[in-house]
Amino acid sequence: MPRHSPPSITLNSQDQASAVLAGAWLVCAIAEEDVMPKLKAGLKQAEAKAKTGAGSQNGSSGLRWDLSQVTALDTIGAQMLWQAWEKKRPQQLVLLPEHEGLFKRLEEVSAIAIPREPKPRLTRVMQLGRTMLTFFEHLHDFIGLLGQLVLDLMRLVRQPHRGPWKEISANIYRTGFQALGITALVGALIGVVLSYLSSNQLRTFGGDIYLVNILGMGIIRELGPMLAAILVAGRSGSAITAQLGVMRVTEELDAMTVMGIPQGYRLIMPKVVALAISMPLLVIWTDAMALLGGMLAAQAKLGMAPQFFWNKLPEAVPLANYWLGLGKGAVFGILIALVACQFGLRIQPNTESLGQGTTSSVVISITVVILADAVFAIMFSNVGY
């Protein structure tokens, strides 16, 4: 392979101002540290002289460009010159025939008009209508999913020996047992925080013994089920949506349909049943950890003995609140599983839809859980007091 001389640019101002280019204008030579600054400076001087030169009326027409001594030229070198010429060929240009094709292609590319992105034509009313249509579409699919779940449960009751017990057991392990660590940590911390905040206010009015009432009612009736549901929605709900979405992307769901394997009976129902079983157990676990953290904080802050705390707790919290919390846990688990499966089945076979569907699943699951908790608060406002 022949060795070329480095690229250079020389400005002459004898009879007529000219820029003489020589050497190999190749990317491997231009990219060198000591060459690139010199070429840029030379092109800027030539461009300035072309605009201010004698007889120049339209840009670079007053400067004569001589490229006859250029031994080699590639796209990068031609692009540098084309930018210096302000994307138009100079009127006085000496060019070798073998380099003519590069600048012709640059002229053709510069002449292409880049279309602008069309502005959205949807008005606010139309966008609102599209949002409402999407909502009713989700509602329709959710009702269909709920109806299919009822049919699958009836089939399980009729033929329990042919039920997907392994799938149910595996989902209970993933959504229940593997979530014990995070729920215990968050529950204990919430108990400590609630105990410290409440003790500061109760000490002002001399009502230290009512700390047990506040912790018991707040945790067992409201905070325990809500904390467990939010953690499960972010942890297990997203995992369910991602699992079904990946099966959609890899066409496993289509293969199950072709093979005659019912998706609802083998995929949806085991997840719903597993969360309906594991969520009440997680609520009990979260309640216990939160009360334990609150008890330790009460002992440290108020000097309240743990024995007094446990003896006072059954009197402060009626048993109906305990059953109400377990009922909330079961309902929250079913809702989280249904929403996660709903968004997982609607994912399109591409990775962008997978990410959006998983995010939407978590947000909608938490929103549905909060709405359901508000309904429970209204319906059972006179229960447990």
Asked, for residue 305, whether it belongs to a domain, the answer is yes
Please compute Rg for the chain using Cα positions. 37
Whether residue 93 is found in the same domain as residue 204: no
Query: Taking the model in full, what pTM does it have?
Result: 0.67
Name, in order, each residue with C-beta under 8 angstroms of 102's C-beta and a sequence gap of 6 or more: 73, 74, 75, 78
302-305: long-range contacts at Cβ-Cβ below 8 A with a sequence spacing of 24 or more? 302/199, 302/203, 302/208, 302/211, 304/208, 304/211
Asked, for residue 62, whether it belongs to a domain, the answer is yes
Whether residue 202 is found in the same domain as residue 342: yes
Whether residue 86 is found in the same domain as residue 179: no
Task: Look up residue 59 and give its two tokens.
Answer: 């840009």
CATH number for 76: 3.30.750
Whether 363 has a pLDDT exceeding 90, the answer reads yes
Whether residue 312 is found in the same domain as residue 166: yes
* Residue 59: predicted pLDDT: 41
Whether residue 240 is found in the same domain as residue 359: yes
pLDDT tens-digit map of 125-182: 877 888 888 888 888 888 988 999 999 999 999 998 888 899 999 999 999 999 999 9
Return the H-helix or E-strand segment holding 242: helix 238-249
Whether residue 236 is found in the same domain as residue 164: yes
Whether residue 95 is found in the same domain as residue 231: no
Residue with tokens 């020389």: 10
pLDDT tens-digit map of 207-257: 777 888 888 888 988 889 999 999 999 999 999 999 999 888 888 888 888
Name, in order, each residue with C-beta under 8 angstroms of 84's C-beta and a sequence gap of 6 or more: 43, 44, 46, 47
Q: Is the Cβ–Cβ distance between 267 and 171 less than 8 Å?
A: no
The mean pLDDT value of the chain amounts to: 84
Asked, for residue 118, whether it belongs to a domain, the answer is no
Q: Is 91 helix (H, G, I), strand (E, B) or coil?
A: coil
Whether residue 78 is found in the same domain as residue 165: no
pLDDT tens-digit map of 47-67: 777 666 544 444 444 678 888
Whether residue 225 is found in the same domain as residue 289: yes
Domains held by the chain: number: 2
Q: Is the Cβ–Cβ distance between 322 and 384 less than 8 Å?
A: no
Asked, for residue 52, whether it belongs to a domain, the answer is yes
DSSP string, 145-172: HHHHHHHHHHHHHH-GGGS-HHHHHHHH
Asked, for residue 139, whether it belongs to a domain, the answer is no
Whether residue 35 is found in the same domain as residue 163: no
Asked, for residue 125, whether it belongs to a domain, the answer is no
Asked, for residue 172, whether it belongs to a domain, the answer is yes
Task: For residues 45 and 60, give the distance between their C-alpha atoms in angstroms, rounded to a whole number.
Answer: 12
Which of 81, 111, 141 delimits the end of a domain? 111
Whether residue 164 is found in the same domain as residue 49: no
Which of 80, 111, 142 delimits the end of a domain? 111
Asked, for residue 128, whether it belongs to a domain, the answer is no
Owning domain of residue 237: 152-379
Return the H-helix or E-strand segment holding 10: strand 8-13
How many CA atoms within 13 Å lie on the side-chain side of 35?
17
Whether residue 97 is found in the same domain as residue 162: no
Which of 85, 111, 137 delimits the end of a domain? 111
- Residue 22 — φ and ψ, nearest 5°? -145, 165
